[in-house]
Amino acid sequence: MSVVSVANVEKAKGVLVIGARDLLTPLAADRAKELNVRIERSTAQAKTSAPSTPRTAPIPPAVNTPTPFASNRPIRQQGAVQPGALSGALYRRGAPVPSQMRVDNVQSNAGLDSRPKTAVIGAGHVGAMTALRLAEPSLFSRVMLVDIVPGLAAGLALDMWHSSGLRNFTTRIEGSTELSALQGADYIVMTAGRPRQPGMTRTDLTGVNAEIIGGVADGIRRHAPNAVVVVVTNPLEEMTHLMAKRTGFPPNRVIGMAGVLDSTRFCSLVALEGIARPQDVKAIALGSHGAEMVIPLSLATIDGQPLEQLLPADRLSAIVERARDSGAEVVKLLQKGSAYFSPAESAAVMVAAMAKNSDTMITACVQSSGAYSVLDTRIGLPVRLGRDGVKEIIELPLRPDEQAALAEAARSIAKRISELG
């Protein structure tokens, strides 16, 4: 009997033939699903092979060493297990850690891993949660968390990595204070910056966060010149503009995160009316991440039925208003700092959509470049994301009042951006 590990699965090309009595670890089974590797169990043990795998030694005789769990199960002698092979006692505390699963090797093996790499800058509320959300689906080989506070990113990364066995993920999370750690990142989420405090508008953050964006953008340009950057730092449209300007990256590779969040906030608030689950409400938020947010009700549906036929107009405008002010509502309740669970989830959704080359429509802050006949500026519009960022802006039919509100939003954003100098 051999133990078939994640390493065997990752080396297989499409199909992995294993022996009838070979033991497939749960992690390897999960990895096979992720990589679309078919596991075929041969009926004849003699003919089978787990390609490119060292075989385990015959199971050694049990010894009666007591374990901390006082188990009656026999434990295996450490010395009898060949390097690289798993012990028979897969889940028992104290079992030898096979070399390919040791943390130091997971790190060095990341170079051989063909999955994309991500980085998150700022290990505060939004950044830390984004890093975890990015790691959990095991889509990426690595998430690098970077923060200027010594030890913060490394400590959080290690803490998150400790949960990998429980959450069953294989993405290595690491932390650093250095922007040079961005080397090789395919996707970078920028969350560094001050959050709002009660009574502050997002625009109040412009000065301090512009400075942070500038320094970080220089680092991204130097260390990850091919990355796609998702900007989260507020004020969103201004910071997305500054990031694009300072990195010199093309418009498809600098995208602001707001539309996914504002859309999901609206949908979740509609669900509070008791007429549908949040995921059944289809609606999008365009325009700015703030006062000029535009939620085109003509496009909002539940199971294909127009939302305007399901709720009275005054209820709907109250929900739009609450969605628009949701950030401030959370800030006021928290008294310190701003929302981070749903913002982190939203940023992770965007990065995953790119990594999967997904064709799903989402809304994001992008360069309008003539779309919707609004001023050419950074504004929330529906887009399709692909591996290299924005694939295309999707032009949806808007009602004249919605089109006018979007044009007004573009004018206000363009004015704010022009004031940045």
**Size of site (CB under 6 A) for ligand NAI:** 35
Q: Is 340 in the site for ligand NAI (CB under 6 A)?
A: yes
Concerning whether 223 is annotated as a catalytic residue, the answer is no
94 near ligand NAI, rule: CB under 6 A: no
Assess 266 for contact with ligand NAI (CB under 6 A): no
CA–centroid distance for 107 within its chain = 20
| Comparison of 7 and 328: residue with beta carbon closer to ligand NAI | 328
Least distance (Å) between residue 344 CB and ligand NAI: 8
Nearer to ligand NAI, 148 or 420 (CB): 148
For ligand NAI, which residue of 18, 24, 157, 212 counts as binding (CB under 6 A)? Answer: 212
- CB neighbours of 123 closer than 8 A, spacing ≥ 6? 131, 145, 146, 147, 149, 152, 153, 156, 157, 175
What is the rounded CA–CA span in Å between residue 250 and residue 244?
A: 7
Asked whether 313 and 288 are in contact (CB, 8 A), the reply is: no
Residue 125 interacting with ligand NAI (CB under 6 A): yes
Strand partners for 389 = 386
Q: Does 234 bind ligand NAI (CB under 6 A)?
A: yes
| C-beta atoms surrounding 248 within 10 Å | 10
3-state DSSP percent of the chain in helix, strand and coil, to 5? 45, 15, 40
Residue 148 binding ligand NAI, by CB under 6 A: yes
d(CA 270, CA 255): 27
Nearer to ligand NAI, 88 or 124 (CB): 124
* Closest to ligand NAI by CB, 11 or 221: 221
**Shortest distance, position 336 Cβ to ligand NAI, whole Å:** 10
Count the Cβ atoms, other than its own, within 10 Å of residue 253. Answer: 20
Is 258 a binder of ligand NAI (CB under 6 A)? yes
Using CB under 6 A, which of 124, 175, 287, 382 touches ligand NAI?
124
> Which of 255, 230, 226 is closest to 392 using CA atoms?
255
- Which one of residues 16, 232, 350, 354 is an interface residue with ligand NAI (CB under 6 A)? 232
Place of tokens 């063909």: 114
Torsion of CA 241, 253, 352, 121, to 10 degrees: -60
What residue is closest to ligand NAI based on CB? 124
Tell me which of 138, 338, 368, 377 binds ligand NAI, using CB under 6 A. 338
- The contact mask relative to ligand NAI for 174-193 (x = CB under 6 A, - = no) is -----------------xxx
| Cα–Cα distance measured from residue 190 to residue 126, given in angstroms and rounded to the nearest whole number | 10
Residues at the contact surface with ligand NAI, assessed by CB under 6 A: 121-127, 146-149, 191-196, 205, 209, 212, 215-216, 232-234, 236, 257-258, 261, 289, 337-340, 343
Catalytic residues: 289
